[in-house]
Structure 1
Amino acid sequence: MDEVDFRTLPTEAGGPPDRNPYAALADLAPAAAFVRDVTGHYVWANHAYAHLYGTTRDAVIGRHLADLDGPADVARFLTLDQEVMTEGRPVRHTLTYQRADGCSGHAAGYRFPVRWGATPCVAGIYVDVTDYSQVLDQRHRAEADLRALRDHSGLACVRLTRGGRVSEAGTAVAEVLRVRLSDLIGLPADTLLADTPERATLQRTWGDLITGRRRSARVSAVLVDAEGWQRRARIQLTAVCDTVPHVTRASRVSGVWAVVTHLGLRDRAQPALTAAQVRILALLAAGGSNADIAEELHLSRQTVDYHLSRLRELLGAATRPALVARAYVLGILSPQAWPPRSATAAHPSSPV
């Protein structure tokens, strides 16, 4: 790169340097710029550069680096200047400096050789990236916290793309599904679900989330592991939105976090129960007798007896207490509700 003479750039009809339109442009540019001689004295600086130190350009020009920066920074900056002068080419880098408020600032840009009249100098053009660096650090810390929560909290959670594929997953999910974590990444979520009535409801809810109509939802599903065993699960879904201004919520949704909040007993096959059978289980869990259940559901005693007999067969439970226990461990009844109700109820006040 040829050295540029800052004082002999084209001017209007050979006018003086202070009328140089290029100098005026550099002086008012938002990027911080300076020119220093080999001893570390400023021969020129623009307003943006002076602003970094909380002063004016006239107060910078003519002063030495040591008047603005600490001893460690002075030594580092002079070394960079000498590197540029020796190699005779631009150097791109980032640096930290002491701001006027006492905090550390961060800048990114170029340092390159120039001539100020007959004097060889070093020029620099930098953009203050302090705020950006702080935001980036905060984001990295948040992502690290999220990874720690995902991997060490014991929560079964996955992040899904808009297309419904697993992009991130916690070790707890891999254990539940009996797969290696590396094999789980990239799988379509549909392949992890049993074909149950809850699946259709979940798909409709998914559509609402990725189109921006809903931010979160709680759904039920039956998970299928690599060995073909099933577990009924309660799942919290939350849409993940990118912070892009001036776009619709739907276009900002980049994926969905799915967190399993309740997991039923692992079983070879989940019984397909009717709404009436689930309601009977809920009334039974609440302590209702056969007569109470018959009255509540407007059924005959014989019909209730038949349903209970059928339920004992379906759930593999020999007694009424065992029937209630199986309903809870299989995830048919919600362990977080009283009076007892179905774990798949769409609303807390709905029994089924």
Structure 2
Amino acid sequence: MVFDRVSVPVAVCDVYGAVQVANPAMAAECGTTPGRLQGRDVLELFRPQEATQVERIAEALRLRHRSRYQVSVRWQAPDGAQRYGELTADPVSDTVEDTPALLVMLRVLAEREAHEQRPPQVAPIEARILALLASGTTTAQAARDTDLTVDGVNYHLRRLSSRWNAANRTELVARAYALGVLAPGVWPPTPASWEGPE
């Protein structure tokens, strides 16, 4: 009962991503009812922006890692708008030995119209720092690669975190992909080809 009253779109999936149960908010994002989502693949409903994110999660689950995983996704809303957001998956089970289920939550970040008309306010140096972070670069290495000090890199990251209300660097990178700041499906990560403010 409590599950159905949660306003955040939530589903419980098996380890392969098949929906076992979904709340009405999750079903509403797909334009259907909770019962009709049962058995559907969550990554077909909400398409990943970057395939490598899913591959890393699958490998971590195979190794029985119990971390929280985030995937930048896009999907078509019932009204036809293209939406962007993040799926967060938390492995849950009664014991460590049990094969975990995945508690999946969806956060809607933007719709295509707003996404295209008002690009995120990210300076080229901020986009470069985000690309370096996405590739696993340390703050010290990012400082060397951008000719900034470590404090300078941290300053830009704090500004972005504040602007996007991001809790950590992982969320910053996920949002950068979801908002189109970083080009999807490209390695090493690179800023997308749009003009931001100087």
- The TM-score, its normalising length taken from structure 2, stands at 0.45
- The TM-score, its normalising length taken from structure 1, stands at 0.27
Larger-Rg structure? 1
Q: Larger RCO: Structure 1 or Structure 2 (Cα < 8 Å, ≥ 6 residues apart)?
A: 2
